[in-house]
Amino acid sequence: MSNSTLLKSSIAKKIAMALSGLFLISFLSLHFFINLMSVFSADVFNSMSHFMGYNPVIQFLMQPILIVGVIFHFVMGFVLEIKNRNARTVAYVKFNGAANSSWASRNMIISGLVVLAFLGLHMYDFWAHEVVYKYVDAKAIDTTRYYSELVAKFESPVRTVLYSLAFVLLALHLWHGFNSSFQSVGFNNKYSKKLHKLGYAFAIIVPVGFIFIALFHHFNN
Amino acid sequence: MASKTINITLKIWRQKNANAKGSMETYKLDNVSTDSSFLEMLDQLNEQLINERQEPIAFDHDCREGICGMCSLYINGEAHGPDRAVTTCQLHMRKFKDGETIYIEPWRAKAFPVIKDLVVDRSAFDRIQQAGGFVSVNTSGRTMDANAIPIAKVDADKAFEAATCIGCGACVATCKNSSAMLFVSAKVSQMALLPQGKVEATQRVLNMVKQMDEEGFGNCTNTGACEVECPKEISLENIARMNREYMKASLKS
């Protein structure tokens, strides 16, 4: 099979979508772990953030891979959504989707779009700020600035609410996405039931944890 | 025991032919026995329409005992209606209430165009089967008896479960993406699990998936709706197996 045929195939697209999703899940776990440290210790959070911000492997290898991963995941999400919408040109008058599937599974495009919009705000808040700090203003290295920058962002109640709402939609996205990714790469066996439980736990714990961190800094400082 | 009867209102998709513009039409039907099957209820409606000199409703049916895969119908927003693990011919009117309004629509998918009223063209499934859903057998007269090959019970059972797919198309109809992956995966699995099918396994999965994509079916997003609505309860495990088979085959070929 030629490469061009493989890339056009529905199953190849589905597997690519799953693998990029699993990659983003692993990044999210790391991000969550670092953010959680901010609740316990400003120093630990500062040192971890500084490492992430200045380590050349992370900055110039991992970060571009992550950006490509994010872009691939949402572009492929749109491509699949358009293809799937075209597969049914006349809609049902009565469609009872709730009878056989979860809302989260049927509306990944909605939860995904909200998360994408949130990413825009998030990149503006932190990533753009970092780029300006390091490369435009070329300010001196300050290993202790990260905690205060984080806390400052969550002073605004509007931003705290927006972040929290986005995490609710992220939870819905993960509720389906985590387990769906494993099914797509062909993992469906005697361990699947346990994995499903882990997936649902992850989909609740991580977003709720992020909300907790946002509220913690909003009310604590 | 005297059977109970109900009076119902039906909203049914009417479409003269493949090119005509269709619409939902409303019909009243009284004295429907709750013991009758859904198709018998439609027979009763058609008799009424014929007596009123109206065009009867076209719908697919054949064996009427849940095995041929001919009957379809999207009833009240669900493929084969609200019951589980049944085809429309096995659905009974006792599942509906007196005075209820029942919506009946054809399978909706670009790959299943409407021919007339509730009848759709499901030949896309035939073309997928023809692309690889078979085992080539040398009929020289020295063909080995299939039963002479030992097969593990667990594999035989899984292959049999996949083979119970009757190709009715409920999976496509119920999927929000009109994906045919449950059907194709059942056909791929039933052979991939057996030694006779392994010989052509690589080409089979590649060709069947290629044909599936060419027919214009959507892509599976693992909502699981197909498994719930499938009258033969074909498992999503088959789709995972097809994905594995496809990955293996892509790397091999």
**Nearest residue, CB atoms, B222 vs list A6, A89, A105:** A105
Q: How far, in Å, CA of B100 to CA of B76, rounded?
A: 11
Spatial separation of the C-alpha atoms in residues A137 and A51, rounded to whole Å = 20
What are the start-end ranges of the H helices in chain A? 3-8, 10-40, 42-54, 56-57, 63-86, 103-106, 108-122, 128-131, 145-153, 157-184, 192-220
Q: Which residues pair with B23 in a beta bridge?
A: B14
Mean pLDDT rounded to a whole number for chain B:
96
Domain B5-115 falls under CATH 3.10.20.30: yes
For position A5, what pLDDT does the model report?
A: 56
Half-sphere exposure (Cβ direction) of A93: Cα atoms closer than 13 Å: 17
Decide if A97 and B179 are in contact by the 8 Å CB cutoff: no
- Binning chain B into helix, strand and coil, the percentages to the nearest 5 are 40, 15, 45
CA of residue A168 relative to chain centroid, distance: 12
Q: Do the chains contact at A10 and B228, CB–CB below 8 Å?
A: no
- Split at pLDDT 50, 70, 90, the class of A65 is very high
Q: Which of B32, B31, B15 is nearest to B23 (CA)?
A: B15
Taking CA atoms, what residue in A is nearest to B75?
A94
Sign of CA dihedral B121, B125, B130, B136: negative
- pLDDT value at residue B139: 77
> Cβ contacts of residue B19 below 8 Å, gap of 6+?
none
The answer to which of A112-121, B28-37, B135-144 has the lowest mean pLDDT is B135-144
Q: Report how far residue A68's alpha carbon sits from residue A22's, in angstroms, rounded to the nearest whole number.
A: 14
Q: Would you state the structure tokens that stand for residue A115, as one six-digit string?
A: 């998360």
Can you tell me the distance from the alpha carbon of B235 to that of A53, in angstroms, rounded to the nearest whole number?
A: 47
DSSP states of B191-214 as a string? HHTSHHHHTTHHHHHHHHHHHHHH
Instruction: Report the gap between the CA of B86 and the closest CA in chain A (Å).
Output: 15
Residues 6+ positions from B204 with CB-CB distance below 8 Å: B132, B133, B188, B191, B192, B197
pLDDT score of B146 more than 80 = no
Q: What is the pLDDT of residue B62?
A: 97
Tell whether the model's pLDDT for residue A1 goes beyond 50.
no
pLDDT band for A7, please (50, 70, 90 cuts): low
Q: B13: which strand partners? A: B24
Contact, B124 vs B111, CB < 8 A? Answer: yes
Query: Which residues from B are below 8 Å from A88, CB to CB?
Result: 108-110, 177-178, 218
Structural domains of chain A sorted by starting position, each given as residue range(s) with its CATH number in brackets: 10-87+109-220 (1.20.1300.10)
Q: B143: pLDDT confidence band, cut at 50, 70 and 90?
A: confident
- Asked if B76 and A105 come within 8 Å (Cβ–Cβ), the reply is no
**A96, pLDDT greater than 60:** yes
Cβ–Cβ < 8 Å for B224, B238: no
Distance of CA A147 to CAs A21, A118, A124, A212, B186, Å?
A: 29, 21, 17, 16, 54
Report percent pLDDT > 70 for chain B: 99
**Per-residue exposure over A153-184, b if at least 16 CB sit within 10 Å of its own CB, e if not:** bbeeeeebebbbebbebbbbbbbbbbbbbbbb
- B218, B223, B243: residue with CB nearest A186: B243
Task: Determine how β-strand B101-105 pairs with β-strand B5-14.
Answer: parallel
Give the Cα separation of B175 and B109 in Å (integer): 9
ipTM attached to this prediction:
0.94
C-alpha pair distances (Å), A150 with each of A46, A58, B71 = 10, 20, 61
pLDDT in tens, B172-222: 999 999 999 999 999 999 999 999 999 999 999 999 999 999 999 999 999
A82 touches chain B (CB under 8 A): no
Tell me how long chain B is. Answer: 253
Residue A93: CB partners within 8 Å, gap ≥ 6?
Answer: B11, B13, B24, B103, B105
How far lies A54's CA from each of A143, B37, B248, in Å? 10, 71, 41
Mean of the per-residue pLDDT values of chain A: 95
- Res B1 pLDDT > 90: no
Q: Write down the architecture of domain B123-252 according to CATH.
A: Orthogonal Bundle (1.10)
Contact B72/B168 with Cβ under 8 angstroms? yes
**Which residues between 12 and 51 in chain A have a beta carbon less than 8 angstroms from any beta carbon of chain B?**
12-15
B56 half-sphere exposure, CB direction, 13 A CA radius: 13
**Nearest residue of A to residue B216 by CA position?**
A87
Q: Which of B219, B201, B234 is nearest to A180 (CA)?
A: B219
Q: Which of residues 149-168 of B touch A (CB under 8 A)?
A: none
pLDDT at A6 over 60: no
Select from B84, B219, B248 the residue whose CB has the most chain A CBs within 10 Å, as the one to mutate to test that interface: B219
**Quick one: pLDDT at residue B3?**
76
How far A122 CA lies from chain B's nearest CA (Å)? 27
**Cβ atoms within 10 A of the Cβ of A212, count?**
15
> DSSP readout, A71-101?
HHHHHHHHHHHHHHHHT-SS--SS--GGGTS
Q: With contacts defined as CB-CB under 8 Å, which chain A residues touch B107?
A: none
Question: A-chain residues within 8 Å CB-CB of B221?
Answer: 80, 84, 105, 108, 180
Question: What pLDDT digit, counting tens, does each position of B41-90 carry?
Answer: 999 999 999 999 999 999 999 999 999 999 999 999 999 999 999 999 99
Contact A28, A205 (CB under 8 A): no
In chain B, domain spans: 5-115, 123-252
Please give the pLDDT value at position B141.
78
CB-CB under 8 Å, B111 with A99: no
C-beta atoms of B240 and A186 within 8 A: yes
